[in-house]
A and B are shown apart, each in its own frame.
Chain A
Amino acid sequence: MKLAFTLAWRNLIGAGLRTWLNVIVLSFTFVIIIWLKGILSGWDQQAKNDMKDWEIAGGQWWHDAYDPFDPLSLESSHAVVPLDSIFTHQSNAVVPALMVQASIFPNGRMQQAILKGIPPHQTLLNLPSALLDTTVNGIPVVIGQTMAKNMGLSVGDLFTLRWRDRFGSFDAAEAEVVGVFYTNVPAVDQGLVYLDLAQLQRMTMFHNEATILSFHEGFFPENQAVGWKSKTVKELTKQVDEMIKTKSAGQSVMYLVLLFLAMLAIFDTQVLSIFRRQREIGTYIALGYTRPQVVGLFTLEGSMHAVLAAIAGAFYGIPFLWWQARVGWTLPMDSSEFGMAMAPTLYPVYSIGLIASTVLLVLLTTTVVSYFPSRKIAKMNPTEALRGKLQ
Chain B
Amino acid sequence: MFFFSAELSAQNASEILLKVDRNLSSDNRVFESSMTISGKRNSRTISSKTYAVGNNKSFTEYLSPASEKGTKMLKLEKQLWLYSPGSDRTIQLSGHMLRQSVMGSDLSYEDMMDDRKLSEIYDAQVVGEEMIGDRKTILLELTARLADVAYHSQRIWVDAERFVPLKQELFAKGGKLLKRIEMADVVKVQNRWFPLTMTYKDMLKQGDGTVFKLSNIEFDQAIPEYIFTKAALKK
Residues from chain A with Cβ under 8 Å of B149 in the complex: 167-169
Docked CA distance A382–B84 (Å): 95
Q: Which of A170-178, A275-283, A355-363 contacts B (4 or more CB under 8 A)?
A: A170-178
Q: Are A109's CB and B206's CB within 8 A?
A: yes
Partner of B204, one of A75, A101, A105, A165: A105
A7 touches B (CB below 8 Å): no
Docked CA distance A178–B129 (Å): 42
Chain B contact residues, majority secondary structure: loop
Residues from chain B with Cβ under 8 Å of A170 in the complex: 150-152, 170, 172-173, 178
B205 touches A (CB below 8 Å): yes
- Smallest CB gap from B151: residue in A: A170
CB distance from A367 to the nearest CB of B (A): 66
Contact A169/B178 with A72-B96, A110-B204 known, Cβ cut-off 8 Å: no
CB distance from B97 to the nearest CB of A (A): 8
A160 touches B (CB below 8 Å): yes
Contact A162/B172 with A109-B206, A110-B204, A167-B149 known, Cβ cut-off 8 Å: yes
CB distance from B121 to the nearest CB of A (A): 11
Contact A108/B144 with A169-B149, A170-B178 known, Cβ cut-off 8 Å: no
- Smallest CB gap from A166: residue in B: B147
Q: Are A172's CB and B174's CB within 8 A?
A: yes
B148 touches A (CB below 8 Å): yes
CB distance from B16 to the nearest CB of A (A): 24
Docked CA distance A76–B144 (Å): 24
Most buried by A among B95, B150, B170, B172: B172
Residues from chain A with Cβ under 8 Å of B170 in the complex: 170
Docked CA distance A168–B152 (Å): 10
Q: Are B96's CB and A169's CB within 8 A?
A: no
Docked CA distance A160–B202 (Å): 13
Instruction: Mark each residue of chain B from 127 to 148: 1 if its CB lies under 8 Å from any CB of chain A, else 0.
Output: 0000000000000000010011
B176 touches A (CB below 8 Å): yes
Residues from chain B with Cβ under 8 Å of A160 in the complex: 176, 204
CB distance from A205 to the nearest CB of B (A): 9
User: How many positions in chain A have a CB within 8 Å of any CB in the partner chain?
Assistant: 20
- Smallest CB gap from A103: residue in B: B204
| Chain B, 111-168, CB within 8 A of any chain A CB | 144, 147-152
Q: Are B144's CB and A169's CB within 8 A?
A: yes
CB distance from B171 to the nearest CB of A (A): 8
CB distance from A99 to the nearest CB of B (A): 14
- Smallest CB gap from B110: residue in A: A168
Q: Are B174's CB and A75's CB within 8 A?
A: no
CB distance from A101 to the nearest CB of B (A): 8
CB distance from B104 to the nearest CB of A (A): 12
CB distance from B102 to the nearest CB of A (A): 15
| Chain A, 99-131, CB within 8 A of any chain B CB | 101, 103, 105, 108-110
Contact A167/B147 with A162-B178, A172-B174, A173-B174 known, Cβ cut-off 8 Å: yes
Contact A169/B204 with A75-B96, A160-B176 known, Cβ cut-off 8 Å: no
Q: Are A169's CB and B148's CB within 8 A?
A: yes
Docked CA distance A1–B110 (Å): 89
Partner of B205, one of A108, A165, A167, A171: A108
18 further contact pairs, Cβ within 8 A, besides A110-B202, A170-B152, A173-B176:
A72-B96, A103-B204, A110-B204, A165-B173, A168-B150, A169-B147, A169-B148, A169-B149, A169-B151, A169-B173, A170-B170, A170-B172, A171-B172, A171-B173, A171-B176, A172-B172, A172-B178, A173-B172
Give 26 A-B contacts (CB < 8 Å), ordered by A residue: A72-B97, A75-B96, A76-B95, A101-B96, A103-B204, A105-B204, A105-B205, A108-B204, A108-B205, A108-B206, A109-B205, A110-B202, A160-B204, A162-B172, A167-B147, A168-B148, A169-B148, A169-B172, A169-B173, A170-B178, A171-B152, A171-B172, A171-B176, A172-B178, A173-B172, A174-B176
